[in-house]
C-alpha cells in the first residue's frame, strides 16, 4: 500500500532553528553565524572582534569542532563567554545542528549578551543546509584558498548574507587578491555583499565592525 507523505527531510532542524532564532530575538540577542573551510580565520576574527567591540563580555560564542575545547579556550582568554560543542558526540561530525545550538544556548546568559556568534565546524559543504537560528550568516574565504573556491562551493555563497575575504595580507604571496575573489563570488551571486579584511594588519576590521553595529542597531534583534 502506498501512503502519500509529503515531508521536508530537514523540517525538524528548521523548526528548531526558528525556535532558537525567536528565543534570541526575544532576549534582544543578534545572532551571526560563521561558515568557512577549516582554518579560514573564524576564531582569529572573533578574537579581533572582541578587541574592537569594546566590551567583550557583551559578546558570546558557540563554537563547533569535531574535537577539543581549543577554540572556546582561545575566546574565553579574550573575555568572551564561549560554549564549545564537540560534534563527535552529536552524531553528525561535519556540521552543527539546530538542536545542539539549543543545548548550548541554555548555558549562556542571554540577558547580558548583545551579539552571539555561532562558529560552525570548518567545512564549506555540510553546514550550509543546516540552519541554526542565525539572523545573518557570514561565509569566510581566505585568499590562501585560491580564487576559485566560490564557484566550486556555490551553495556556501548563495545561502549566506555576507562574504568576508580574509587574510588579505597574504594576497601578494598566493597570487590571489580581494579583486579576484570578488570576481569569483559575483560569478555565483552578482549582488553579493563582500568585505575584505586582515586580522594581521587590521585592514578592513573597521568595516566589519560597522557592518555588525549597523545590523545590531537595525531591527533584527
Specify the residue, 155 or 213, whose C-beta has the smaller distance to another protein: 155
Residue 133, SS3 per DSSP:
coil
Specify the residue, 19 or 174, whose C-beta has the smaller distance to ligand GTP: 174
Binding partner selected for residue 167 from another protein, Mg ion, ligand GTP, none, CB under the kind-specific 5 to 8 Å limit: ligand GTP
Long-range (24+ apart) CB contacts under 8 A made by 98-102 are 98/13, 98/14, 98/16, 98/17, 98/19, 98/20, 98/130, 98/131, 98/132, 98/133, 99/13, 99/16, 100/64, 101/17, 101/20, 101/62, 101/132, 101/133, 102/16, 102/19, 102/20
Q: How far is the CB of 93 from another protein (least distance, A)?
A: 8
Q: How many CA atoms lie within 13 A of 139 on its CB side?
A: 26
Q: Which residues bind ligand GTP (CB under 6 A)?
A: 36, 38-44, 65, 71, 122, 166-167, 169-170, 198-200
Site for another protein in 74-103 (CB under 8 A): 91-92, 94-95, 97
Q: Which stretch binds Mg ion (CB under 5 A): 67-75, 131-139, 151-159, 168-176?
A: 67-75
Q: Does 106 bind another protein (CB under 8 A)?
A: no
Residue among 151, 118, 117, 124 nearest 139 (CA): 124
Q: Does 158 bind another protein (CB under 8 A)?
A: yes
Contact 94, 114 (CB under 8 A): no
Residues that bind another protein (CB under 8 A): 1-13, 91-92, 94-95, 97, 125-126, 128-130, 151, 154-155, 158, 187-191
Residues that bind Mg ion (CB under 5 A): 42-43, 71
Amino acid at each position: 500500500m502506498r501512503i502519500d507523505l509529503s515531508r521536508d527531510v530537514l523540517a525538524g532542524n528548521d523548526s528548531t532553528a526558528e525556535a532558537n532564532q525567536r528565543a534570541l530575538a526575544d532576549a534582544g540577542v543578534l545572532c551571526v553565524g560563521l561558515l568557512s573551510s577549516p582554518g579560514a580565520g573564524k576564531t582569529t576574527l572573533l578574537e579581533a572582534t572582541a578587541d574592537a567591540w569594546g566590551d567583550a563580555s557583551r559578546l558570546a560564542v558557540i563554537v563547533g569542532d569535531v574535537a577539543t575545547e581549543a577554540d572556546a579556550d582561545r575566546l574565553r582568554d579574550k573575555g568572551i563567554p564561549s560554549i564549545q560543542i564537540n560534534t563527535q558526540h552529536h552524531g553528525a561530525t561535519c556540521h552543527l545542528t539546530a538542536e545542539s545550538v539549543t543545548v548550548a544556548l541554555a548555558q549562556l546568559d542571554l540577558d547580558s549578551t548583545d551579539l552571539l556568534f555561532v562558529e560552525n565546524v570548518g567545512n564549506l559543504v555540510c553546514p550550509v543546509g543546516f540552519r541554526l537560528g542565525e539572523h545573518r550568516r557570514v561565509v569566510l574565504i581566505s585568499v590562501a584558498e585560491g580564487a576559485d573556491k566560490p564557484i566550486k562551493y556555490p551553495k556556501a555563497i548563495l545561502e549566506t548574507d555576507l562574504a568576508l575575504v580574509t587574510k588579505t595580507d597574504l594576497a601578494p604571496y598566493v597570487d590571489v587578491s580581494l579583486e579576484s575573489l570578488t570576481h569569483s563570488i559575483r560569478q555565483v551571486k552578482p549582488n553579493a555583499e563582500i568585505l575584505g579584511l586582515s586580522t594581521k594588519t587590521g585592514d578592513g576590521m573597521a568595516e566589519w565592525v560597522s557592518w555588525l553595529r549597523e545590523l545590531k542597531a537595525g531591527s533584527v534583534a
